[in-house]
Structure 1
C-alpha cells in the first residue's frame, strides 16, 4: 500500500464547538453509528497505520487541533506516529490557495515510513529532523461569481424579510435582524458576494447565502464550492451536509500529487 488517507472525526476540536467540555465524552454521529469518544479515534487511525504499514500516511483534522489545550493531542499524535514507525510533520493549509473556491483551513499530518523517509531527511532546526516535502500552494483565487446560478431553494417569509432589509457590505443577516427586532442574532447567516471567495462551507444550509438573491445555495453551487463532481451521488443526504463535513477533493488531490512527485516517484 502506497498511501493510507483518513479524516478521523474532529468535531470535538472545532473552534465552533464545545472543545474541552466534550473531550473524553461519548458522542453519536448523525449517520447513526454507535456512540463513541471522538477525540481518541485519531489514535485508532494511527494504530491501523501501524498494522498496515503503508509507505505514506495522511491524516486530516480541523484548525482547532492546533489551538489551546488541544496541542497536547498533537504531541501525542507525533509520539504515536513515531512509535508506529513514521516520521511525522503537519501543515495548516487553506483550500482557497489550492484551486478550491472556498476558504477552508485544515491541518494535514503527512507521514512517511522511517525506512523510506531517511532518503529525504533534512535538519529543520537544531532539534528536529524531518523528511522534506514542499506543501506551499498559491493557486489563483476562484470567486463565487464565476459559477453562481442562483437556482437554490427560495427563502421562507422570515428570512426574506431580513434579506429585503440588507445593505451592501453586510457580512451577515445580523444588522437586518437588529433593525427589525431590536435584538441580536442571525450572525451565522453569512452573505456570499460574487467578487469574493466563499468562506468555509458548513453542514447547515443557511450558513452561507448569496447576497444578490433571496435563495439558498443550489446543489450545483455547493458542488462547485467544494469541488465535488456535479453528478455526485449524495445517497439521499443533504449536499450541504456532506460537502460541509468533507475535505474538498481537489484539496486532497493537490496533497497527493505533491507526495507522489516529491516522495513516492523517487523511491
Structure 2
C-alpha cells in the first residue's frame, strides 16, 4: 500500500483491486469500507439499520449487496448470495456505548432500550454476540470485531472471554489488539480494540501489528481564521473568561463561573490546542479551538477523521457521522497488514 495522507480523495486515491473480498456489518457511514478500499480490497456491501446512515453509505459506495435491516434479520436470511459465504474478511463494529469507560456503563448492561436509529427494543451488549453468530454463519477466512477499549477493561472482561470462546467454538483463533489511530497516520488519538479472528483450518501464523507513524498535531490540520464554523453556545461563551490555558474541558471553568467547589457539567466540551493530537472525536459534544475561541468546522473534523475531501454527508451532521465511524486510514493499515501477512500470494 502506498503511503496514505489523511487529506485524500475517494475519486482518485483508491488503488487497483488486490483480489480480496470484504463485507461489512454495522457499516454506519462507511469509514471502515473506505479503509478496505484504500488497501485494495473489493468491498461487496454491508448491513446497516439506521436509514440515514444507510443512505450516506449507499451514496458514497454504491454497494453490490446491501441490507437495510437488523443484524438478526440478516442472520436469519436464507437468500444470501454465495459470494458472502466465501469472504476473505468479514468486518463488524457493533454499537459500543454500553462498553464505554465514560459514565456508569454497567448500568446499561442487559437493559432493553429503543434507539434513535430505528431499532426495535434491544440490549446493545448482546450485539457483539449476534455478530459472532454472523461470523459462524458466513465462515469468512478472517473476521474483525472492532469496539471501544472498555470492552476489555474491568467487569467487561467477561464479555471478552465469551467472545473468544464463541469464536473458538466456531473454528477461529482470536487475537486482541488495542490500537491508537494516531500511530497510523490519522490526526486523532482514537483508541480502539480489534478482535481479529483467523480460521483455524487455514494455518495462518499469528498476526503482528506494530504501527509507529509520527503523530500529526492539530496545528497541521487547523484552518486558521475559519469563517465556516458554527457559533459557540452562549453557555460556553459566558464561561470562557474562566478558562485557563491547558484546560482540556470546561469543568473547572464551570465551577469558577458558578462559584462552586464542585463541578458537574461540560465534560463533553473539549478544548483543542495547536501542539496536541486531537483526542477521540465523539458523535456529540463540542470541540473548541483555544487560539480562536471557536467551534471546529466540518473540514477540520473531516481531516481529523481521515475521511476523503469529496465525501458526501448528504446533509447529515458531519461530526455525528465522523464520530460514529472508524477512521479509514486506521482500517487501511490493519487491512494491509492482513493482506501482506496472510494473503501475500494475492
> What is the TM-score when the length of structure 1 is the normalising length?
0.89
2:129–2:163: 8 Å Cα contact kept in structure 1?
yes
Counterparts of residues 254-265 of structure 1 (less than 5 Å) = 254-265=333-344
- Counterpart of 1:230 (choices 287, 309, 315) is 309
- Secondary structure at 1:59 match in 2: strand
- Secondary structure at 2:248 match in 1: coil
1:60 maps to 146
Structure 1 position 193 matched with structure 2 position 270: no
- Which one is further off, 45-54 or 21-30? 21-30
Cα distance, 1:265 vs structure 2:
1.8
1:12 maps to 98
2:268–2:285: 8 Å Cα contact kept in structure 1?
no
- Which one is further off, 38-47 or 164-173? 164-173
Structure 1 position 178 matched with structure 2 position 255: yes
Q: Distance in 2 between matches of 1:69 and 1:176?
A: 33
- Which one is further off, 167-176 or 32-41? 167-176
Taking structure 1 as reference, are residues 35 and 235 closer, same or farther at Cα in structure 2, changes over 3 Å only? farther
- Counterpart of 1:143 (choices 217, 241, 250) is 217
Taking structure 1 as reference, are residues 168 and 226 closer, same or farther at Cα in structure 2, changes over 3 Å only? same
1:205–1:216: 8 Å Cα contact kept in structure 2?
no
What stretches of structure 1 of length at least 5 have no aligned partner?
121-131
1:167 maps to 244
Q: Distance in 2 between matches of 1:187 and 1:39?
A: 24
Q: Distance in 1 between matches of 2:316 and 2:101?
A: 25
2:98–2:105: 8 Å Cα contact kept in structure 1?
yes
Taking structure 1 as reference, are residues 107 and 4 closer, same or farther at Cα in structure 2, changes over 3 Å only? same
Q: Distance in 1 between matches of 2:244 and 2:173?
A: 51
Task: Give the CA RMSD over aligned residues.
Answer: 1.6
Superposition misfits of 4+ residues, deviation over 4 angstroms: none
Higher relative contact order (CA 8 A, sep 6+): 2
1:51 maps to 137
Cα distance, 1:191 vs structure 2:
0.8
Taking structure 1 as reference, are residues 69 and 237 closer, same or farther at Cα in structure 2, changes over 3 Å only? same
Cα distance, 1:266 vs structure 2:
4.6
Counterparts of residues 121-136 of structure 1 (less than 5 Å) = 132-136=206-210
Counterparts of residues 108-123 of structure 1 (less than 5 Å) = 108-116=194-202, 118-120=203-205
Cα distance, 1:53 vs structure 2:
1.2
2:297 maps to 218
- Which one is further off, 164-173 or 44-53? 164-173
Structure 1 position 241 matched with structure 2 position 320: yes
Taking structure 1 as reference, are residues 157 and 39 closer, same or farther at Cα in structure 2, changes over 3 Å only? closer
Cα distance, 1:165 vs structure 2:
3.7
- Secondary structure at 1:253 match in 2: helix
- Secondary structure at 1:167 match in 2: coil
Cα distance, 1:115 vs structure 2:
1.0
Q: Distance in 1 between matches of 2:283 and 2:159?
A: 25
Q: Distance in 2 between matches of 1:15 and 1:205?
A: 16
What stretches of structure 2 of length at least 5 have no aligned partner?
1-86
Cα distance, 1:20 vs structure 2:
1.8
- Secondary structure at 2:303 match in 1: helix
CA deviations 1:125-176 (Å, max 9, x no partner) are: xxxxxxx211111111001111111331121333222224433222222333
1:57–1:110: 8 Å Cα contact kept in structure 2?
yes
